[in-house]
Amino acid sequence: MSHISMELIDADGAVRENARLASDGSTRVDFLRKAGLSGAGFAAGGVLFTGLADPASAAISSRRRSRRNDVKILNYALTLEYLESEFYARAVAGGAIIDPVVRRFAEVVAEHEATHVRRLRAVLGKAAIKKPSFDFGDAVSNQVKFRATAQVLEDVGVSAYAGQGPNLVQRRAVVVALSIHSVEARHAAWIRFINAGSTTTASEQDLPAPVAFDQARTEKQVLKLAGPYIA
């Protein structure tokens, strides 16, 4: 069983640095930017895909679309949904998310991610990979770190679905991937609004919708972001 630790997700310590920055009196926009979660946040979040090992990330093809390739792509997505579902479930259960706005976000998204897991498992059937184990450290028990980590996970998730969607061949796989992709984008916008978009001083890159087109990342590009952090 794969094990994904907070050290992999936050290899350069950016997320964990948020609490210190916040305690120094920085605004939410400031500490997110200083922590590298505005634009460059993908670099920290991308390392979560090191856990997408056997067989999910083994050999997804962008040239030869097939039913077998669809299974690999959906398992790639399932592992990410496992991670997100566990992240939000632990945060909600732990009781550290006390801000009512943040807690409402966490509760709703926890249910969404759990539903995504069930849906992908249903589509994959016996081909679905098992749930890995995860270690998020205090990102699920510290509200500031939770918010920052949630933004990283949601942004990376959106780019991953966008990157693999065009490689799917079966209509059923396309339908489930697209239906989840748009919801993940809503999650990303929601947490971005909580973290920065509700202020009048936020820069464009911190807004819930910072650009006209989101970047789609291939599996290779996502894993390349993780490479420098893999021991």
CATH number for the domain that contains residue 89: 1.20.1260.10
State the Cα angle at 168 between 186 and 66, rounded to 5°. 160
pLDDT of residue 222: 57
Please check the confidence at residue 20 and state whether its pLDDT lies above 60: no
What stretches of the chain show up as alpha helix (H) in DSSP?
Answer: 6-9, 18-23, 28-34, 41-45, 67-94, 100-124, 143-164, 171-192, 219-226
Please check the confidence at residue 224 and state whether its pLDDT lies above 60: no
Q: How many domains does the chain have?
A: 1
Point out the least confidently predicted range of 43-52, 56-65, 71-80, 160-169. 43-52
pLDDT of residue 94: 93
For range 189-207, the mean pLDDT: 80
Strand 133-135 with 3-5, pairing:
parallel
- Give how far Cα 219 sits from Cα of 76, 90, 163, Å: 9, 27, 7
* Whole-number average pLDDT of the chain: 74
pLDDT of residue 32: 44
- Does residue 34 or residue 111 have the better pLDDT? 111
- Does residue 221 or residue 132 have the better pLDDT? 132
Please check the confidence at residue 114 and state whether its pLDDT lies above 90: yes
Q: Is 222 within 8 Å of 162 (Cβ atoms)?
A: no
For range 75-102, the mean pLDDT: 92
Q: How confident is the model at residue 44 (pLDDT cuts 50, 70, 90)?
A: very low
Please check the confidence at residue 9 and state whether its pLDDT lies above 90: no
Point out the least confidently predicted range of 37-46, 48-57, 141-150. 37-46
Out of 6-15, 43-52, 67-76, 99-108, the most confident range is 99-108
pLDDT of residue 51: 41
Q: How confident is the model at residue 28 (pLDDT cuts 50, 70, 90)?
A: very low
Q: Which domain holds residue 216?
A: 3-229
Q: Is 35 within 8 Å of 17 (Cβ atoms)?
A: yes
pLDDT of residue 57: 45
Global pTM?
A: 0.74
62-87 CB burial, b ≥16 within 10 A, e <16 = eeeeeeebbbbbbbbbbbbbbbbbbb
Q: How crowded is residue 150: how many other Cβ atoms within 10 Å of its Cβ?
A: 27
Please check the confidence at residue 109 and state whether its pLDDT lies above 80: yes
pLDDT of residue 1: 46
